[in-house]
Amino acid sequence: MKDNNVYKMGPWTHNIIHTFSGDGRYSDFIKPFNDIGLYVEIDNKGKSMVIEMPREDRKPISFKNLLKCKEFKNTKYKLPVIMGVNVFGNPIVKDLDKMPHLFVGGSCGTGKTMLLKNIYESLSAKLSNDECKFVIIDTKAFDFVKYSKKKNMLMPVITDIEEIMTFFDKIAEIIDCRINILRNKHSKESKNMPKIIIMIDEIIDLLFKYKKETEKFVQLIGLHGRSVGVYLIMATQRGNHITSTIYANTPTKICFKVRSKTDSRVNLGEEGAELLLSPGDMLYSEAGRIPERIHVALPEKHI
Ligand SMILES: Nc1ncnc2c1ncn2[C@@H]1O[C@H](COP(=O)(O)OP(=O)(O)O)[C@@H](O)[C@H]1O
Ligand SMILES: [Mg+2]
């Protein structure tokens, strides 16, 4: 019998690329693999699938190497972010400007904070301190506290939830002010305004304490953020507590490994993330597109 499959080894998985022939719904082909715990990716046109089997000997993906890749070096993206590599080991760079707001879910210890750090490093490597400023809310007061000293921070890292209202007001004021500037210039573009990247790790702490205010803030950013250069990235390990307002205003979703299909649906909008490896393995879904599996890179000091 002729074997029409193509075998390609990736950094974390053995991959079998199978081209569909004949009729039949591809979901019928996928389910048996999912049932034995294997993730299967479908190409955009639904012509082929990749069956991905975990390797025993996973090598960490080096962030430093990816900084040198042509996809990042030659990128035309406004806000290029190194996400990691696909299952074949090819670099994946995404544009935060297209997301333009990002929700990151996944169980504890699966790689969410590391990804936020990579996003910070990618943007800092490409954009000067005048072009791009960061605001980081680290409610655990652990992972990002040292970032306060960095030159491209708009303000010191916020660790105290009681400071959050002042922060919301300040960002709302900036957005207002920028909207007025654009209106007076009759312009739709926010050229010459430094981009502001807001990273919240973990959003649920704010939501529990200040639900209404947090929702109002996320809505404001969802409505006007991109046009005035303000972007929001938020992470949570408790996707089941995220309100629909928060979810709807962050069009791009990422989900790291979760415990169940239900958890995957809650975070990503579909099943699959329960089949990922941990830590560092994620599904990326830009504005409702088919999720892409991406292995996230690690900085040198962690390898
Ligand atoms: N992309 C990755 N590749 C390999 N190991 C990783 C990766 N991301 C995270 N880790 C490991 O997992 C640990 C927990 O990651 P972290 O990002 O803090 O998880 P979370 O924020 O989801 O709780 C890290 O300290 C690191 O050792
Ligand atoms: Mg974390």
- The string of pLDDT tens digits covering residues 184-216 is 887 767 678 999 999 999 999 999 999 999 999
**Residue 46, pLDDT score:** 76
The answer to whether residue 1 sits within a structural domain is no
Number of domains in the chain: 2
- Beta strand 252-256 pairing with 39-42: unpaired
Q: Are 107 and 264 in contact (CB under 8 A)?
A: no
Q: In terms of domains, do 34 and 177 share one?
A: no
**Residue 212, pLDDT score:** 97
3-state SS, residue 158: strand
Q: Are 177 and 229 in contact (CB under 8 A)?
A: no
**Residue 2, pLDDT score:** 63
**Residue 5, pLDDT score:** 92
**Total Cβ atoms within 10 A of residue 151:** 8
Q: How remote is the CA of residue 141 from the centroid of ligand 1, in Å?
A: 17
**Residue 300, pLDDT score:** 80
Show the low-confidence residues of the chain (pLDDT under 70). Answer: 1-2, 24, 188, 190, 303
CA angle 110/206/194 to nearest 5° reads 85
Q: Tens digits of per-residue pLDDT, 213-254?
A: 999 999 999 999 999 999 999 999 999 999 999 999 999 999
The answer to whether residue 10 sits within a structural domain is yes
Q: Which domain holds residue 126?
A: 63-302
The answer to whether residue 134 sits within a structural domain is yes
Closest residue by Cα to atom 27, ligand 1, is 302
- With a 6 Å cutoff on the Cβ, whether 280 touches ligand 1 is yes
Residue 282 is inside which H or E element, if any? strand 281-285
**Total Cβ atoms within 10 A of residue 250:** 22
| 65 DSSP 8-state letter | H
Task: Supply the angle between the helices 164-185 and 211-220 in degrees, to the nearest 10.
Answer: 20
Buried b / exposed e over 234-245, threshold 16 CB at 10 Å, is: bbbbbbeebeeb
- How is 186-234 classified by DSSP, letter by letter? T-S--TTSPEEEEEEE-HHHHHHH-HHHHHHHHHHIIIIIGGGTEEEEE
Q: In terms of domains, do 138 and 162 share one?
A: yes
Closest residue by Cα to atom 13, ligand 1, is 109
Distances (CA, A) of 283 to 3, 24, 62, 86, 256: 29, 26, 19, 10, 7
The answer to whether residue 13 sits within a structural domain is yes
Q: In terms of domains, do 82 and 226 share one?
A: yes
Q: How remote is the CA of residue 27 from the centroid of ligand 2, in Å?
A: 34
- With a 6 Å cutoff on the Cβ, whether 82 touches ligand 1 is no
Q: What is the CATH number of the domain that holds 199?
A: 3.40.50.300
Q: In terms of domains, do 50 and 84 share one?
A: no
Q: In terms of domains, do 67 and 50 share one?
A: no
Nearest to 195 by CA among 244, 223, 154, 162: 154
Q: Are 180 and 173 in contact (CB under 8 A)?
A: no
**Which residues, 6+ apart, have CB-to-CB distance to 151 below 8 Å?**
129
3-state SS, residue 63: helix
Closest residue by Cα to atom 24, ligand 1, is 111
Q: Provide the residue type at 163 as one letter.
A: E
Distances (CA, A) of 249 to 85, 101, 102: 27, 7, 9
**Residue 301, pLDDT score:** 79
